[in-house]
Amino acid sequence: MPEPSPRRMEPTRDYPLFGGAFSATLPPGAIDVSDLRPVPNNQEVFCHRVTDQSLIVELLEQQAHVQGEEAARYHFEDVCGAQEARAVQVETVQPLFLENLALRGCCQEAWVLSGKQQVAKENQQVAKDVTVHQALLRLPQHQTDVLLTFSQPPPDNRPFLSPENLSLLPWSLGDFEQLVTSLTLHHPGIFGPQ
């Protein structure tokens, strides 16, 4: 009897972020990491139920000293430094069209960056090549840079298509794009008094 082919689960729409101040569409199989371990207050972190993929939404102080493409590179290098990554490489940096964003009303500029880094997981000696996609949404009226990161480590050798996981394909760039374009601000008060 042939194996059933993997099928897509539906994404989770309007998932509340930062206590409901934002919402976004999460890809299928997303697990809220804050249910598993502490996560900084300025981050929402999700991991794939089966793969080692992760998605992070961060609210950061705006880095006004860097503009345009250099701002995207700055944040990528900052994240790589915090992770003690080796062999960091930016592959592409491109502007995002604001009209495609739910945040278009308050986003002044947006960039998407793709790159690679070598990073070792906690308690592991061997560094793996990780593909990283980042979207930087700049909200100057709130003095905030919103950084969305999609990390794609290489697949490991364990079979992830067990019967209970048949519907959980690895996340794609399309899933990340849906997260980025669907990110919606509901309560500007999260940024404090303006």
pLDDT (0 to 100) of residue 94: 97
CATH number at residue 84: 3.40.1000.10
User: Quick check: is 169 in a domain?
Assistant: no
User: Quick check: is 168 in a domain?
Assistant: no
Handedness of CA 133, 189, 13, 38 (dihedral sign): positive
User: Quick check: is 167 in a domain?
Assistant: no
User: Quick check: is 163 in a domain?
Assistant: no
What do you get for the CA distance between the two ends of the chain, in Å?
A: 63
User: Quick check: is 3 in a domain?
Assistant: no
Q: Which domain holds residue 84?
A: 14-153+179-187
Residue 75's H or E segment, with its range, is helix 68-82
Question: Structurally, how many domains does the chain consist of?
Answer: 1
Radius of gyration of the chain (CA): 17
User: Quick check: is 4 in a domain?
Assistant: no
User: Quick check: is 106 in a domain?
Assistant: yes
- Give the C-alpha separation, 129 to 141, whole Å: 37
Neighbour count for residue 78 (Cβ, 10 Å): 13
Closest CA to 48 of 21, 17, 27: 27
Task: Check whether 1 has a pLDDT greater than 80.
Answer: no
Q: What is the pLDDT of residues 101-127, one digit of tens each?
A: 999 999 999 999 999 988 776 666 677
- The secondary structure of 149-192 as a DSSP string is EEEEPPP-SS----GGGTT-PPP-HHHHHHHHHH-EES-GGGG-
Task: Check whether 162 has a pLDDT greater than 60.
Answer: no
**pLDDT band, very low/low/confident/very high, at 39 (cuts 50, 70, 90):** very high
User: Quick check: is 159 in a domain?
Assistant: no
Structural contact between residues 86 and 95, judged by C-beta atoms closer than 8 angstroms? no
Give residues with Cβ within 8 angstroms of 106, minimum separation 6.
Answer: 139, 141, 142, 185, 188
Task: Check whether 20 has a pLDDT greater than 70.
Answer: yes
- Whether the predicted model's global pTM rises above the 0.85 cut: yes
